[in-house]
Amino acid sequence: MSCKSSLEVSSRTLSLSDKKADDHSKYLMARIRQISKMGYAFGHQDATAYGMGWKNDGSLYKSDVAEVTGDFPGVFGFEIGHIELGHKQNLDSVNFGLMTELIRKAHKSGGIVTISWHPNNPATMKSAWDPSPAVSEILEGGLLHPKYQAWVAQVAEFMLGLKTQKGKPIPIVFRPFHEMNGNWFWWGHGNCTPEQFQSLWKQTYDLLTKTHNVHNLLYCYSTDVVKNEEEYLKFYPGDAYVDILGMDLYHKGTTKEYLELLEDNLSLLAQVGKRKNKPYAMTEGGLNMVTVENWWTNVLDKSVANKGIAWALFWRNAWPNHFFAPYVGQKSSEDFKKFKSLANVLFLEDIQKIR
């Protein structure tokens, strides 16, 4: 006899953008909604793939965050840039086979998995940061449409391959084409029109859901910092194509500026999320090298605690001058432990209970 929680049973009645979304995806959505009622989950990009001074070769399971606090993040971010090229590893040198295994482990332990995608520029084959016009060429009717279809087929194959040991699909929060209101990606502001962006989103969505029958994805729309709601929704493809709303909010200026930025942007995100009845999250963020000792409790939690976000995901611990979560001995690690112990801050052990 299977023993399903009441959350799992009630989740069956949830309606997602993908009308054929599987029950596991609906259950993930129900858990995400529940999380935001209790606090917010801490997330980390590539948490188990590598950290400061180490790289997972397949024989370990650890994370900088767990070394500091004793617990893993509640949300695990992964990145599939270069899957479209058929490469064995992503743009940050994470092997896709290992990634699949780490996603399986994160899911099995009760964590939430979110995947971003920084595809190369399909027109020039340079990186995602090459702003040369490309979107019009990959849309239906464009010269590069067949190539783009093949790219999405690779994404579909990866997503369909995400299964538990028992062969059940693993639900994923998929966050393609993010920060589109900025001008640094080929799908971003100034490099395509909002209408072209919306077509790109819908065509990708249709290819995944209809052509390839991928039904384990929740679709997350996430901008960079915005000035107002109009800017937030400028590229929005429509409620029928989005399940979760997000924003990427990095601390780049002074602390005072970041506090204001969080207040303004997350209040706006909350407003849109509530009106649309969609959960919302800080889909990326952090202070590079966490140079402020009490940043977690005094800057971050202070401003995000009452906003209703489901999670806040911090970017990858890549190099000594590019990391967003503490490691053992790092300046902010004592404060990070305090942060973890706050009742509203949910790490893996807390998330496990939401089921």
118 binds ligand BMA (CB under 6 A): yes
DSSP state for residue 122 in the 8-state scheme: T
User: Is 318 a binder of ligand BMA (CB under 6 A)?
Assistant: yes
Residue 18 or 179: the one with the smaller Cβ distance to ligand BMA is 179
- The reply to whether 92 sits near ligand BMA by the rule CB under 6 A is yes
Nearer to ligand BMA, 71 or 84 (CB): 84
Minimal distance, residue 23 CB to ligand BMA, in Å: 31
Pairing, β 75-79 against β 40-45 = parallel
Binding mask 31-70 for ligand BMA (x = CB under 6 A): ----------------------------------------
Output 80 or 262, the one with its CB closest to ligand BMA.
80
Out of 18, 71, 79, 335, the only residue in the binding site for ligand BMA (CB under 6 A) is 79
Q: Which is nearer to ligand BMA, 29 or 313 (CB)?
A: 313
How does DSSP classify residue 189?
Answer: B
Tokens 């942007």 correspond to: 265
Question: What is the closest distance, in whole angstroms, from the C-beta atom of residue 354 to ligand BMA in the complex?
Answer: 28
Q: Which helix (H) or strand (E) holds 218?
A: strand 217-223
How far is residue 333's CA from residue 69's CA, in Å, rounded to a whole number? 8
Q: Between the CA atoms of 168, 173, 176 and 182, what dihedral angle is there, to the nearest 10 degrees?
A: -170
Integer Cα distance of 98 and 93 in angstroms: 11
Instruction: Characterise 242 by phi-psi region: left (phi > 0), alpha (psi -120 to 50), beta (else).
Output: beta
Q: Containing H/E element for 31?
A: helix 23-38
Which one among 316, 317, 336, 340 touches ligand BMA, defined by CB under 6 A?
A: 316
Closer by beta carbon to ligand BMA, 81 or else 111: 81
Please say whether the beta carbons of 204 and 145 come within 8 A: no
| Residues at the interface with ligand BMA (CB under 6 A) | 79, 81, 91-92, 118, 315-316, 318
